[in-house]
Structure 1
Amino acid sequence: MMKLKSASEIDKMHQAGKLLAACHRELRQRIKPGVSTMELNDFVEQFLNKYGATPEQKGYMGYPYATCASVNDVICHGMPTPNKLTDGDIVTIDMVVNLDGWLADSAWSYPVGQINPEAQQLLQVTQEALNQGIGLAKVGNRIGDIAHAIQTFVEGQGYAVVKDFCGHGIGQEMHEDPEVPHFGEPHQGPELEEGMVLTIEPMVNVGTDQLYIDDDGWTARTLDGQLSAQYEHTLAITHEGPVILTSQDIE
């Protein structure tokens, strides 16, 4: 069942989102060759604790870390490791912030040092796919309108959108209704209503959309070993249009 949020509840989620965005801005300065994803994970946990927040995914279904850190061919749910990032890598850092019982969720893909044009194009297409979806997150539209816009854009650019994972409602629980797929037909699915808060989080692959899960039970990789990227925002549906609660722009 969908849980509509009041203006005051959305404001509480926005406060969590602002803290999450500030953490991502700090990560931009720290992601470089020679840094490990475990070091980045530890920084995130310390940053959140400093401001009275906690990493919601730590302990979720046994997941042991404050972040998901997905490098190169990892689509999502990559576990932080002591391995050093190298020049030319791309890495996605995904985190869910709990501030006073209200959540915000955002993933962002970053270049490590100097990346090649193929990787840079993938990042640009994936971020624009997110923007395309957000642009249709309006009262009266349907989830399928968001999904179709993302799929049409991504495939039109010659990439594959991952179908095995989706966005979701969010509030005081990490995963609420509705599910928000990134592929589908327009005018289908739940209608968007004022007070809904959800994530849009397209994962885009250079090659096939097929994947496999590592033995750790979490890490999802592209089946063909090619690159994958992801961008995600948490947003509120309002009569004035979508409000991005995890915007990294300085407010």
Structure 2
Amino acid sequence: MIEYRTPTEIEQMRPAGRFVADVLTALAEKADVGVNLLELDELAHQMIRDRGAESCYIDYHPSFGASPFGKVLCTSVNDAVLHGLPHDYVLADGDLLSVDFAASVDGWVADSALSVIVGTPDPKDQQLIDTTVSALAAGIEAARPGNKLGDISFSIARVASRAGYKINTDFGGHGVGRTMHGDPHVPNNGRRGRGLPLRPGLVIAIEPWFLQSTDKIYTDADGWTLRSRDGSRGAHSEHTIAITPDGPLILTAR
């Protein structure tokens, strides 16, 4: 069921958005050569405890997950692009790290993701990250009253295709509110002018993610981490936004 939020409720969602943004900023600053993924997860866990927030991930167990997630972050490295389960891995020079984080503050959820290069950047990795950021910006720009859901998806896909990346539509954006995942699904490819009419009060996470040379993925033996079929690297960018009469409001702006 698609839910629409009142202006007052959208204001009540701002603290969750700010908290998620602050955590991701701290994680991006912490990520460096020699840092263990479990250290990043513990940093986020401590920030959750200090804020009195609640993790959206630790008990999360959807049909596609092998077991309850058990951690508070998704940390996807190199050929991993989504749902990366934090484990005993030390970041190395040149790693491409994607971090996805969602939390609830005062009963409202926000969800966001970013990708960073650890140490020495590879221009191809930077181009991939920059494309997800540009695609996210294009999708957000299209999230205006009077447009359709397909306009968001089309805008994301156009940026990706111009950069030469293929698009997987198995996973994408989603509604956000009292829970992390709700209706509608927001695919990263679609037809302009088609789908759900966008109107004020809709709160969604828009999240383009691309792989360098494929759109095929598989699930790692950990039962969660999604990796590219051909070993190419992936990147992921995401914001929670509210559609208002004046246009999109980025609740997780950093």
TM-score for the superposition, normalised by structure 2: 0.96
| 1:93 CA displacement | 0.9
Structure 1's consecutive aligned runs of 4 or more residues displaced over 4 angstroms after TM superposition are none
Per the alignment, residue 211 of structure 2 pairs with 205
Q: Determine the structure 1 residue equivalent to 2:231.
A: 225
Distance in 1 (alpha carbons) for counterparts of 2:199 and 2:135 = 22
Matched-pair contact (CA < 8 Å) for 1:148–1:182: yes
C-alpha separation between the residues in 1 aligned to 2:106 and 2:125?
A: 38
Counterparts of 1:35-74 in structure 2, within 5 Å, are 35-61=35-61, 62-74=68-80
Stretches of structure 2 that go unaligned for 5 or more consecutive residues are 62-67
Q: Which residue of 1 aligns with 2:81?
A: 75
Which blocks of at least 5 consecutive residues in structure 1 are unaligned?
none
Contact 2:167-2:188 at 8 Å conserved across structures: yes
Q: Is structure 2 residue 135 aligned with structure 1 residue 101?
A: no
* Aligned residue number for residue 161 of structure 1: 167
Q: Deviations over 1:156-184 (max 9, x none)?
A: 11112222101000100111111100001
Residue 215 of structure 1 and its aligned partner are, at CA, apart by 2.2
Match of 1:191 among 197, 208, 220: 197
How far, CA to CA, are the matches of 1:225 and 1:142 in structure 2?
35
Check whether the contact 1:48–1:54 (CA below 8 A) recurs between aligned residues. Answer: yes
- Residue pair 1:18, 1:246 contacting (<8 A) in 2 also: yes
Aligned length: 248
Tell me the residue number matched to 2:92.
86
**2-structure distance, mates of 1:152, 1:94:** 23
**Which residue number in structure 1 is paired with residue 127 of structure 2?**
121
- Provide the aligned C-alpha RMSD in A: 0.9
Using the alignment, how far apart are the partners of 2:112 and 2:118 within structure 1? 19
Counterpart of 1:188, as a letter, is R
The aligned amino acid for 1:21 is A
State the Cα distance separating 1:32 from its structure 2 match: 0.3
Q: Quick check: 1:70–1:79 contact (8 Å CA) kept in 2?
A: yes
- Summarize deviations over 1:103-139 as a string: whole Å, max 9, x none: 0000111110111111111111111010010010001
Cα shift at 1:25: 1.5
Secondary structure, counterpart of 1:178 in structure 2: strand
Matched, 1:111 2:98: no
**3-state SS of paired residue (1:242):** strand
Does the Cα contact within 8 Å between 2:36 and 2:88 map onto a contact in 1? yes
Shift of 1:28: 2.2
Which residue in the other structure is 1:174 paired with? Answer: 180
| Deviation (angstroms), 1:98 | 0.6
On the 8 A contact 2:24/2:101 being kept in 1, the answer is: no
